[in-house]
């Protein structure tokens, strides 16, 4: 018998005289802590079942149920348990695939009818029984042909298709109790390890995402290492539902979408348009402060120009085209081209650089209907877009300037964020040299500013690498908003140049950048971030005058017009209704201040402000209230609200 050497990473090796040592045996011999929390093992860098014989010299690492990898294995195993429960409860159902996903798992089924939310409790109960039985997951390998025969016998056509497409000689099957699934593994040792799970929702999904194939029924669920974590997660889900902008948008009368108008097109209602206007004014102020110039290009540009820029070649499937007077035009999906023509409209010297052209540019992009979602993914949107055209040696300073711009703006909205650099994608234009220079410029600027960042290989725009800014909202969710892209290629294609100190023509560099990105998307994120309760400077309606009785209406109207004239965004509720009802309604609309006007207020010529969180302020004059609002407006950099 041969000796085998096993060790933990950085640990001493142990010589063992056994042939059939499993990963679990080895980990126990190596005295790992908490063996009851193990779900798998890493053996020579590969994650495998605890029951797998190691059969060779091995370096091992434990995989615990509460680690990221462990949770993934737990959740995928829960998907097998769910599939088993569904098969037992719904005879004739065919199983397809059931992967772990971020925060949970799903399994797709083909059944005579779609599953419904009210099927879930029964399935959960059955899963509970399977978990209670603590059935072991056992693995066996067989030839692909044997597996095909096996699944054919059990009428699992989808599995047969999967095995054929795999094209492997051998496949592995996992069995727990009466249920066998085609799977690479690994799995938890037995079903009893699933201590906390919940089924969440059902949805339709095409087999292999192909709309020409069968429509399947997908059941989503999640599992955690312990009930406390599950409870926290369910609470976060509930909170996310409460903040869902698709629900809050219409409820707060901000926006709507209409089948009659078209998918991915937003209709802005008065309050939403006011919110948008406030944001756009904010954007313009912030850009002018930083020496940007406002410009605007047209919506339609000749297709010839899109060919010249490379958009036709690389971005055509996302664009819309139309023909006017037998001439083909493309609706702009980006704002760059007109900005370059503005630059090229006269000869620029090194003294003129940098030029920073800013446009609240409305663009159209064809997104697949399946990915459209509320304000987050739409087909028409407006970007706070700018193009900075500068000398290559100014690039570093300009990128830092944009990074600081992002920092200032995100602080105003209380967003933390992470930075990621995306490098050259497969479909792209430009030389390797230019790509390297551009990527280095972005990385160096972040390093100079001491900002940590991650790298996304191959995720850049077709014309250059980019920095993506991922916002973290009040629930810790990440949102892609700002991007900074560095580009040497478009200036080349459009023959942009400047006259340098020595009188020579030189090629400038170009930065494409957005700070909040698409205004639509940013508003969607803001609604969820603030749960609809916007800070006063941003609130479409800042205050609501509420009268107590009809006697108070004349004074109420006086307060209303006085404050409105002073540019407070204010409305009145003078209905002959109980004050309590009016307060509740204003609170549902998340209006920052309710101004109560009763007999006492009329007599003293003041108002009693009540905040939306229920806090009452002392009776004050309309002028004092105006002062308070003006102070809060300053957060958004707007100090121009007149004081009377």
Q: Compute the distance between CA of residue 477 and CA of residue 495 in angstroms, rounded to an integer.
A: 42
Q: How many residues bind Zn ion (CB under 5 A)?
A: 4
CB of 335 to Zn ion, least distance (A): 6
Q: Which is nearer to Zn ion, 183 or 525 (CB)?
A: 183
Q: Which is nearer to Zn ion, 6 or 353 (CB)?
A: 353
Q: Identify the active-site residue in 87, 365, 513, 582.
A: 365
Which stretch in 183-191, 253-261, 455-463, 583-591 sits in contact with Zn ion by CB under 5 A? 183-191
CB of 519 to Zn ion, least distance (A): 16
Q: Which is nearer to Zn ion, 248 or 301 (CB)?
A: 301
Task: Check if 365 is active-site.
Answer: yes
Q: Compute the distance between CA of residue 110 and CA of residue 93 in angstroms, rounded to an integer.
A: 6
Q: Compute the distance between CA of residue 63 and CA of residue 77 in angstroms, rounded to an integer.
A: 15
Q: Compute the distance between CA of residue 565 and CA of residue 542 in angstroms, rounded to an integer.
A: 14
For 126, 141, 143, 422, the CA distances from 168, given in Å and listed in that order, are: 34, 12, 8, 34
Structure token pair of residue 628: 């308070």
Q: Identify the active-site residue in 271, 355, 512, 569.
A: 512
Q: Which is nearer to Zn ion, 442 or 545 (CB)?
A: 442
* 3-class SS string, 71-118: HHHHHHHHHHHHHHHHHHHCCCCEECCCCEECCEEEEEEECCCCCCHH
Contact 382, 518 (CB under 8 A): yes
Q: Identify the active-site residue in 48, 183, 336, 602.
A: 336
* x-marked contacts with Zn ion along 478-517 as a string, rule CB under 5 A: ----------------------------------x-----
Task: Check if 336 is active-site.
Answer: yes
Q: Compute the distance between CA of residue 343 and CA of residue 297 in angstroms, rounded to an integer.
A: 12
CB of 414 to Zn ion, least distance (A): 28
Sign of CA dihedral 319, 323, 324, 329: positive
Contact 409, 286 (CB under 8 A): yes
102 Rama sector, left if φ>0, alpha if ψ -120 to 50, beta otherwise: beta
Which stretch in 191-199, 326-334, 407-415, 525-533 sits in contact with Zn ion by CB under 5 A? 326-334
Q: Which is nearer to Zn ion, 83 or 275 (CB)?
A: 83
Q: Identify the active-site residue in 108, 384, 385, 573.
A: 385
CB atoms inside a 10 Å sphere around CB 112: 7
CA 13 to chain centre: 45
Q: For tokens 């159902």, what's the residue?
A: 93
Which stretch in 2-10, 55-63, 329-337, 533-541 sits in contact with Zn ion by CB under 5 A? 329-337
Which stretch in 11-19, 129-137, 287-295, 331-339 sits in contact with Zn ion by CB under 5 A? 331-339
Q: Compute the distance between CA of residue 14 and CA of residue 125 in angstroms, rounded to an integer.
A: 45
CB of 12 to Zn ion, least distance (A): 35
Q: Which is nearer to Zn ion, 32 or 510 (CB)?
A: 510
Write out the H or E segment, with its range, that includes residue 355.
strand 355-364
Contact 520, 381 (CB under 8 A): yes
* x-marked contacts with Zn ion along 15-44 as a string, rule CB under 5 A: ------------------------------
CB of 570 to Zn ion, least distance (A): 40
Which stretch in 105-113, 181-189, 360-368, 540-548 sits in contact with Zn ion by CB under 5 A? 181-189
Q: Identify the active-site residue in 387, 424, 521, 590.
A: 387
Task: Check if 512 is active-site.
Answer: yes
Q: Which is nearer to Zn ion, 275 or 336 (CB)?
A: 336
CB of 184 to Zn ion, least distance (A): 7
CB of 249 to Zn ion, least distance (A): 28
Which stretch in 180-188, 195-203, 283-291, 437-445 sits in contact with Zn ion by CB under 5 A? 180-188
Q: Compute the distance between CA of residue 63 and CA of residue 174 in angstroms, rounded to an integer.
A: 19
Q: Which is nearer to Zn ion, 334 or 596 (CB)?
A: 334
Task: Check if 48 is active-site.
Answer: no
* 32: CB partners within 8 A, 6+ apart: 8, 38, 62
- Pick out residues in 90-129 that bind Zn ion (CB under 5 A): none
Find, among 635, 605, 451, the residue nearest to 534 by Cα: 635
CB of 528 to Zn ion, least distance (A): 27
Q: Which is nearer to Zn ion, 512 or 569 (CB)?
A: 512
Angle, helices 553-565 vs 622-633, to 10°: value is 40
227, with CB counted inside 10 A (0-12, 13-18, 19+), is: exposed
CB of 584 to Zn ion, least distance (A): 47
Q: Which is nearer to Zn ion, 172 or 587 (CB)?
A: 172
Contact 192, 131 (CB under 8 A): yes
Which stretch in 136-144, 145-153, 202-210, 334-342 sits in contact with Zn ion by CB under 5 A? 334-342
Instruction: Let me know how long the chain is.
Output: 644
CB of 183 to Zn ion, least distance (A): 3
Q: Identify the active-site residue in 466, 513, 521, 610.
A: 466
Structure token pair of residue 543: 């205050």
CB atoms inside a 10 Å sphere around CB 571: 15
Q: Which is nearer to Zn ion, 334 or 595 (CB)?
A: 334
CA angle, 128 then 133 then 135, to 5°? 110
* x-marked contacts with Zn ion along 613-632 as a string, rule CB under 5 A: --------------------
Asked whether position 183 contacts Zn ion by CB under 5 A, the answer is: yes
CB of 316 to Zn ion, least distance (A): 17
CA 540 to chain centre: 25
- Pick out residues in 511-530 that bind Zn ion (CB under 5 A): 512
Q: Identify the active-site residue in 176, 383, 542, 589.
A: 383
Q: Compute the distance between CA of residue 603 and CA of residue 597 in angstroms, rounded to an integer.
A: 10
Task: Check if 385 is active-site.
Answer: yes
CB atoms inside a 10 Å sphere around CB 294: 12
Asked whether position 63 contacts Zn ion by CB under 5 A, the answer is: no
Contact 54, 5 (CB under 8 A): no
Give the residue, chosen from 336, 403, 442, 541, that forms a contact with Zn ion under the rule CB under 5 A: 336
Where along the sequence are the contacts to Zn ion (CB under 5 A)?
A: 183, 334, 336, 512
User: Any idea which residues carry the catalytic annotation?
Assistant: 336, 365, 383, 385, 387, 466, 512
């Amino acid at each position: 018998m041969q000796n085998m050497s096993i060790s933990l990473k950085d640990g001493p090796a142990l010589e063992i005289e056994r042939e059939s040592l499993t990963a679990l045996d080895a980990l126990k011999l190596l005295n790992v802590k908490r063996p009851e929390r193990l779900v798998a093992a890493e053996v020579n860098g590969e994650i495998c079942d605890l029951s797998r014989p190691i059969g060779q010299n091995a370096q091992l690492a434990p995989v615990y149920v509460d680690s990221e990898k462990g949770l993934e294995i737990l959740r995928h195993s829960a998907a097998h348990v769910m599939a088993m429960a569904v098969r037992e409860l719904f005879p004739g159902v065919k199983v397809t695939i059931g992967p772990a996903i971020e925060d949970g798992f799903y399994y797709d089924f083909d059944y005579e009818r779609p599953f419904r939310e009210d099927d879930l409790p029964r399935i959960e109960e059955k899963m509970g029984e399977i978990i209670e039985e603590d059935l072991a997951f056992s693995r066996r390998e067989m030839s692909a042909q044997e597996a095909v025969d096996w699944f054919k016998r059990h009428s699992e056509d989808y599995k047969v298709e999967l095995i054929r497409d795999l094209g492997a000689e051998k496949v592995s099957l996992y069995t727990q109790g009466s249920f066998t699934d085609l799977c690479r593994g690994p799995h938890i040792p037995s079903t009893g390890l699933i201590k906390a799970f919940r089924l969440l929702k059902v949805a339709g999904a095409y087999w292999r995402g192909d709309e020409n194939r069968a429509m399947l029924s997908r059941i989503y669920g999640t599992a955690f290492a312990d009930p406390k974590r599950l409870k926290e997660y369910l609470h976060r889900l509930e909170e996310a539902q409460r903040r869902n902008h698709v629900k809050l948008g219409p409820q707060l009368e901000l926006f709507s979408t209409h089948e009659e108008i078209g998918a991915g097109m937003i209709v802005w209602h008065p309050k939403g348009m006011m919110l948008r206007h406030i944001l756009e004014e904010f954007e313009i102020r912030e850009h002018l402060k930083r020496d940007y110039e406002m410009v605007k290009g047209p919506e339609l540009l000749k297709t010839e120009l899109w060919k010249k820029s490379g958009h036709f070649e690389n971005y055509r499937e996302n664009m819309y085209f139309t023909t006017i007077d037998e001439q083909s035009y493309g609706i702009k999906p980006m704002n760059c081209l007109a900005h370059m023509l503005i630059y090229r409209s006269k000869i620029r010297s090194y003294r003129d650089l940098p030029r920073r052209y800013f446009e609240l540019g409305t663009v159209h992009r064809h997104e697949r209907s399946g990915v459209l979602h509320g304000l987050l993914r739409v087909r028409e949107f407006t970007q706070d877009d700018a193009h900075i055209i500068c000398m290559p040696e100014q690039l570093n300073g300009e990128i830092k300037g944009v990074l600081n711009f992002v920092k200032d703006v995100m602080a105003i909205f209380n967003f933390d964020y992470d930075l990621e650099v995306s490098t050259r994608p497969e479909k792209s234009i430009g030389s390797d040299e230019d790509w390297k220079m551009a990527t280095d410029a972005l990385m160096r600027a972040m390093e100079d500013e001491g900002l940590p960042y991650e790298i996304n290989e191959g995720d850049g725009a077709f014309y250059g690498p980019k920095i993506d800014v991922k916002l973290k909202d009040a629930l810790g969710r990440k949102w892609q908003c700002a991007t900074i892209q560095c580009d040497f290629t478009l200036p080349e294609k459009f023959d942009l140049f400047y006259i340098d100190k020595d009188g020579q023509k030189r090629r400038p560099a170009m930065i494409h950048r957005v700070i909040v990105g698409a205004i639509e998307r940013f508003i969607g994120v803001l609604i969820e971030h603030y749960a609809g309760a916007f800070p006063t400077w941003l609130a479409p309606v800042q205050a609501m005058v509420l009268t107590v009785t009809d006697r108070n209406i004349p004074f109420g109207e006086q307060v209303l017009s006085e404050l409105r004239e002073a540019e407070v965004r204010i409305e009145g509720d003078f209905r002959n209704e109980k004050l309590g009802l009016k307060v509740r309604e204003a609170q549902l609309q998340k209006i920052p201040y309710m101004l109560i006007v009763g007999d006492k207020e009329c007599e003293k010529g003041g108002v009693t402000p009540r905040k939306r969180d229920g806090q009452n302020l002392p009776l004050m004059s309309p002028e004092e209230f105006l002062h308070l609002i003006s102070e809060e407006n300053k957060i958004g950099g707007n100090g121009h609200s007149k004081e009377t």
